[in-house]
Structure 1
């Protein structure tokens, strides 16, 4: 197990975190939720940037408080809003990375910077948002890391830049024994990249599902009030009142397709699950 959080609790005056999740070797795990749901607090707890009140965090098979400097070299991190000083150039940060990581692959890093058209002698503050994001990610993957912790790495990027970054992550996962925990607001990124998804809402994990299962088995029923009263509700997760009647989230789409052929049933998506799990009512 590369990463495990067991009942991690952190209380603030107007917010509290209660989280359990796992990242296994060979898996890309997504953490989804609205702004303020607690995603960044999870990452900061893992990295000891905030100190949980209780619970257990294991990183690379060790208690996170026992992680050594050598162990940290096996972790690559990209946090929202963080990065290198804008007054440095790529050429100037190479010695910094070389001194931080014994396994820093300068050749690979330089070649990838060239591939993604990152100028080595231009100040980073002059880079576009996409260029800075690519630089941060390349720095995280070019030192032999086994675990990547990526908090909103594609935020603010256009489609082309996001696709380039997802390509980097797919290449990273081609080596056995690696894993990624990634948060993102872009559902298409998660649907195409992640093996499983955790959804966090108001500091609590409200859903954990394999991505393939979510896309295949989850669905959104749209029924009138009359049909809703007749509906078998055993397999409904959330219900939301609509002008036409009700929207109903289910994880047994096949059951309703077979038993209610007249009902309008849409294929589930990450966006719809987020909306229904946060705004819908439990049955």
Structure 2
């Protein structure tokens, strides 16, 4: 569905070198700190910026060679884009009818009603959360094969985020040959939605893992200096000095549970893995 191989782009002191692959039937998350390269990766995938080297293929083609029909196969939400504030939902319906041959007007209006978006108010009067919902509803309303969503739940409260995530799950359930690439700074969204996760830091992919594996096999070992000195370190991915000794990130929790019963082990979360991969020592 989407494949990048060593796609390189430089902005001043920032340099992106990204490789990733989005498979059919999968929801793939891209996580990282602000400024790590997530938005640049999304724009490169859409052909909105020119890369200096490397390759990107979206639905089998270079996105810079897409024609109108190809672009109708994509549903896109970018953090820094949206509709004119002077339009209403009713205005947008007319625009989408002409933009997308497979635009489902009935479904769109059903979702607008479901998410309590006013049809006759100008978008500039919408809250941040209402604007975010409208962008996602638009992305899933024209039978796209691939969604590329950059921070689609930004600005939403807990209930609204859950509603949007349910909308994305329903999108995936309708067709097997669909896929989603999504970024979010709210890790709990990705833990419940994504099949796999890529972690990006300073423009480089530093980890790729199935979400189920990350949540089941990864963990934090809390050990004293003596315990750290005595333990097998083959499966330690990162470690960090603490006041009590060391925190250690491992992807082999069961090994340490069986061989070091006295060691305190905490279940890994996406946030904790990100923190250790960035701040920990290899």
Q: TM-score range, shorter-chain basis?
A: over 0.9
Equivalent runs, 1:184-263 vs 2, <5 Å: 184-263=184-263
1:1-283 matched pairs, under 5 angstroms? 2-174=1-173, 175-282=175-282
Shift of 1:268: 0.7
Give the TM-score normalised by structure 1. 0.98
Q: TM-score, normalised by structure 2?
A: 0.98
What SS class does the counterpart of residue 173 from structure 1 fall into? helix
How many pairs are equivalent? 281
Is the contact made by 2:46 and 2:64 (CA closer than 8 Å) also made in structure 1? no
Unpaired segments of 5 or more residues in structure 2? none
Is this contact kept in 2: 1:59–1:67, CA < 8 A? no
Q: CA deviation at 1:262?
A: 0.2
Aligned partners of 2:17 and 2:45: how far apart in 1?
A: 13
- Could you list the per-position Cα deviations for residues 168-204 of structure 1 after superposition, in whole angstroms to 9, with x for gaps in the alignment? 1000001210000000011110000000000000000
Q: CA deviation at 1:275?
A: 0.3
Offset at residue 157 of structure 1 (A): 1.2
Cα deviation for residue 100 of structure 1 reads 0.8
Give me the whole-angstrom Cα distance separating, in 1, the residues matched to 2:67 and 2:29: 26
DSSP 3-state at the match of 1:62: coil
RMSD: 0.8
User: Aligned partners of 1:80, 1:226: CA distance in 2, in Å?
Assistant: 47
Counterpart of 1:200 in 2: which secondary structure? Answer: strand
| Superposition deviation, residue 210 in structure 1 | 0.1
Distance in structure 2 (CA, Å) of the matches to 1:186 and 1:47: 23
Moved more, 40-49 or 193-202: 40-49
**For residues 124 and 158 of structure 2, what CA distance do their matches in structure 1 show?**
22
